[in-house]
Structures are given as structure tokens and as C-alpha cells.
Amino acid sequence: MPTLTINGMTVEVPQGTSILNAAKEVGVEIPHYCYHPKLSVAGNCRMCLVEVEKFPKLQTACSTTVSDGMVVRTDTEKVRKAVTGVLELMLIHHPIDCPICDQAGECGLQNYYMKFGLHKSRYSLEDKVHKKKVQDIGGQIVLDAERCILCSRCVRFLTEVTGTQELHFFHRGDHSEISIFPGKPLANDYTGNLADICPVGALTSKDFRFKCRVWFLKMFDSICTGCSNGCNVDVHYKGDVLYRLKPRWNDAVNQAWMCDFGRLTYKGMNEARLLTPFVREEGARKVAAWGSLLPDVAFRLKAAAQKGGPDRVAVIASPQSSNEELYLLRRLATELLGTKSFAFSHRVAGDGFADDFLIQADKNPNSLGARLLGIPDGAAFDALVSKIAGGGIDALLVFGNVVGTLSEEEAAALLAKVPFVVQVGTNEGPVSKAATAVLPSASVAERAGTFTNHAGRVQRFRSGFPARGKAKDPIEILVTLGNRLGAGWTFAGEASVFKAIAETEAPFAGMSYDSIGMFGQEIAK
């Protein structure tokens, strides 16, 4: 491996490494706009110029590979003067939109101006070239051509990643701009990534525009629940309100991207939330207290099992639940209630809603986890639905907000066949409208645990803030119900439950909550 010196620091890197990436290894930031690790090298922004000993002129760090003995300087007066000059050229026609631009606070142009610019423009406002602003170009994106610095990231993304090639360069010189052909808007499922990779405010998200200044937002890492791929995401929030999801890098799962559908799943964590436990008496909702409702639910489930037999009590699990929740729910159903009327409602959207990149047909984050934990679906779930429809169930515990692919009317008609229905869920829906008792649970942003994606990678999601209203962590709900049914469980949070899973469930053997880490861990094959 070649060894080189950067600003007096020696570093050894693999053959083929660029100067820009070698500099990162020793903590040296080289400014750049056009370079992106997941896209081809363009070398057109010229911001990454560096001085290399024995080279006659400055080199672009993104496109110059290292060689043994190379001596690089990124902090000389010659480099600084060149970078300042490049930045000035970029700013000649750039609008002074910062106060109204959504990119303010996370803008590469802003940041580098403060570091390398701080100059007065030598161009008058009257001489600036103006271009089209606020253009709806399809998908989730609004284009402001005047803010564009022509780095070509977006063009390369649509050529190399999606293969759809909707954006192109038009015109020449000062009048160059990116745009779509007339009548050919963005037509792929990954348009939101354009806003992520745009280093300035030229491509912004329709969904996030003008909602919140980024410096008011906090962030935590999580997993997208939109399908079984389990894309890694950063959740951006203020208070207890989520504002956006952005992809978090994980080369084993989603690289640096996510789909447009998954990007909007945060809305379900904000809207139509179940925030207070309640019971339904004579058709009307009545707010209940956790302290009395949980013991009552446990008593009625146990009484139904004793009166009509365990199989007259049914439990429907949700593949939206974590491995820890499913493990406890399985034990509650099979060990404590003794029922065989137990399955999970597996919703598959169909091959038309999948692709060969990230999007999976299974629109649940943890279907494989449920199966690995011994919870049946498919024919078992269909049989359970038929049993409920035939009046063969006296008490039903439903985890989640829906019943398979049943419509609201179908679910209402089905659940009306059961005298006692309990829901543990996050959102209003067909189940909450039909339930006898509702136990509101924390959303995926308010609790922690693990999902197992379609490829068998166990990944952690984290809690960003306390549950809204009076909602509780599903693990706490299950442990309380289990102990009311005589379990004697001493679990205290998701880590202790996962420890039990690793000790008793073969696919998870050898794992620990800590070993899963930021990027997940594959199950035992």
C-alpha cells in the first residue's frame, strides 16, 4: 500500500485511493462539491485543488490517486488563493437567497464562503444572469436553477443509480443550467435523494420546504419501516414532531439512498395517533387509566381462555413490531394463554411495488423476524381470520393498526364477531374503531428494539424522545400483561429481552444487543 504525506502527516492507504479520501484518514478536510463517494468522479467543481510536490500545477484531489512517497499540501497560500477564486466564480451569479433558502444551515456554499470567501462581489446585481426559480420537475423535488452550481451530482445519480436520466445540462457558459425535457418530469421512486445530494439549495424537497429551519432540528438514527429492506435512516425532529427522514449510510443495506415512499413514513408517527388508553362502553369511548385497564385486560383474556378453552382466545401479531415485542407476545400467547390461535398479519403489496434496488414487495420491516421467532403467517393467518368470521373466538388481542389487507369495512365486520377485542397500537384505524379496549403504544420513533430485514440482517432502531401522550412502550405493556398472567418476567427494556432471544432462539445465537451496532449483524445461517 502506498504511503504519502499530507500537511506533514504520514498515512498509508490502499492502492487507488484518491488524495481527497486519503486526507480524510488523517482528519484533513478538502473542500469539494461535485465529489460523492457513491457516484463517478467528475472533477468539475475545482474546489478540491491541492498542491502536490513535483507536480507543475495544482491537482484535483477527488480525481488524483495517491502514489508512494507523494507529498501533498492542502493549506498553502497558492491553494487558498485558487479555492477562493473558484468560489468567487460560483458566487458571481448566485442569488442572495440564504434567508429564504431551505438549504441554509446545511449548505456547502454557505460553509465554504465563511471559510474561504468573505469577499465583496465584483459583480453588480444588475449584471447577474437570472434563471427559472421554483420549478416543479416531478417527484418530490422543486428546482431553482439560479442556485445551481452545476456540480452534476444529480445528473450522475439519475444516470448511474436510477438509470432514468431525467435531468440534463442545457445551454452554455453563464447560461448553463440543469433541467428536464418538456413533458418528461422525474419519474422514479428515488427522487428525494436528489435533495440529499445537492450541495446547495437548487434541488429541495417539496415535503420539507419551509417547514422548519434545520438548526432547530435534532436527530437520531433509526430504521425505515416502509418495507422489509430496513433502510438505515436519520430521523430529524423538533420536540415530539418528526419533520423528515434522510438515508443513513450502510453499504450492506441501502448504501446512501432510500426510496420516496419510505421517506414519507414519518407522517404516520405524527398523525392520527392513539395517545390515551380507553374502553368502549355502549358504543362510546371512555378514557381509562393504565393502572386499572391492564389488570382488567389480563383478567378477561385469562377468563376467556378458562371458560371456552385456550383456542377461543386469539392473538394477531404485527410484522411492524420489533423482535423483542414479538418474542414476548409469542410467549404470552403460547405459554401463558396456551392458545394455538396465533398468527401475524402479513401484508404484501405485490411485485409491482418492488424493484431490483431497494424497494421490497413486503411492506413490513420485520416479517422475517416474526417467522424466525416461530410465529406463523400465510395459511395460518387466513385460517385464523376464517375462525374469527365463524364466531370461533371469544377474545382477541391485536398488535398493530390493521388486520392484514382487510379494508376498514371488512375489519370492522370481522372484529364485530368477537365479544372482547384488545388493541395495542399506535394509530387510529379499523382496529381502534372496533376494539373494546385500546392500549396506545409508542411509535418506532419513541421506542427502541431490533428488526430483521428480508436478507436476515438484525438492525437496531433507537428512541429519539419519550412517547407522546400516555402511550407506553409495547415491551412494558407486554411485561405487565405477562406478569398479570403469572409469568414472573423481570425484563427491563429491549436489551434484556434481546439477551433472552439470543440465548433461546437459534437464528439469533451468539448475538448481543451491543454487537449489532450501527450497521446490523446477520443471523446465523
User: Span 308-334, mean pLDDT?
Assistant: 97
To 5 degrees, how large is the angle CA 445–CA 142–CA 262? Answer: 30
Q: What SS3 class is residue 52?
A: strand
505 pLDDT band (50/70/90 cuts)? very high
Region 257-280: mean pLDDT is 97
By CB neighbour count within 10 A (0-12 exposed, 13-18 middle, 19+ buried), where does 196 fall?
middle
Contact between 34 and 79 (Cβ < 8 Å): no
Beta-bridge partner residues of 273: 427
Q: In what order do the strands lie in the sheet with 203-205?
A: 135-136, 141-143, 203-205
Strands 313-317 and 342-344, by their bridges, are: parallel
**Distance between CA atoms of residues 230 and 267, nearest Å:** 17
* C-alpha cell read off for 373: 421467532
Contact 412, 398 (CB under 8 A): no
Residues 273-298 have a mean pLDDT of: 95
Q: Write out pLDDT tens, residues 156-187.
A: 999 999 999 999 999 999 999 999 999 999 99
Task: Give the residue-averaged pLDDT of 325-346.
Answer: 95
Contact 344, 318 (CB under 8 A): yes
Grid coordinates representing 414 are 370481522
Domains along the chain with CATH numbers? 3-90 (3.10.20.740), 129-216 (3.30.70.20), 278-522 (3.40.50.740)
Residue 405 — pLDDT band, cuts 50, 70, 90? confident
Cell numbers placing 93 = 451569479
Q: What is the pLDDT of residue 339?
A: 97
pLDDT at 128: 86
In the numeric block, which cell numbers belong to residue 158?
439519475
Q: What is the mean pLDDT of the chain?
A: 95
Mean pLDDT of 353-378: 94
pLDDT at 1 over 80: yes
- 362-386 burial, b at 16+ Cβ within 10 Å, e below that, comes to bbbbbbbbbbbbebbbeebbeebbe
Share of the chain above pLDDT 70, in %: 99
Q: Strands, E, within 130-181: which ranges?
A: 135-136, 141-143, 167-170, 177-180
DSSP 398-447: EESS--TT--HHHHHHHHTT-SEEEEEESB-SHHHHH-SEEEEB--TTTS
DSSP 3-state percent helix, strand, coil across the chain (nearest 5): 30, 20, 50
pLDDT digits (tens, 9 = 90+) for 110-141: 999 998 877 777 877 778 899 999 999 999 99
Residue 122, pLDDT score = 80
Q: Residue 143 CB: number of other CB atoms within 10 A? A: 27
Residue 12 parent element (H or E)? strand 9-12
CA 505 to chain centre: 27
Q: Nearest 5°: phi and psi at 6?
A: -125, 115
Angle formed at CA 512 by CA 509 and CA 517, multiple of 5 degrees: 125
Q: Quote the cell numbers at residue 177.
A: 443550467
pLDDT higher than threshold 90 for residue 258: yes
CA–CA separation, 121 vs 391, rounded Å? 78
Instruction: Please tell me the distance from the alpha carbon of residue 177 to that of residue 148, in angstroms, as a whole number.
Output: 7
pLDDT-based confidence at residue 33 (cuts at 50, 70, 90)? very high
Q: Which residues pair with 180 in a beta bridge?
A: 167
| Whether the Cβ atoms of residue 73 and residue 103 lie closer than 8 Å to each other | no
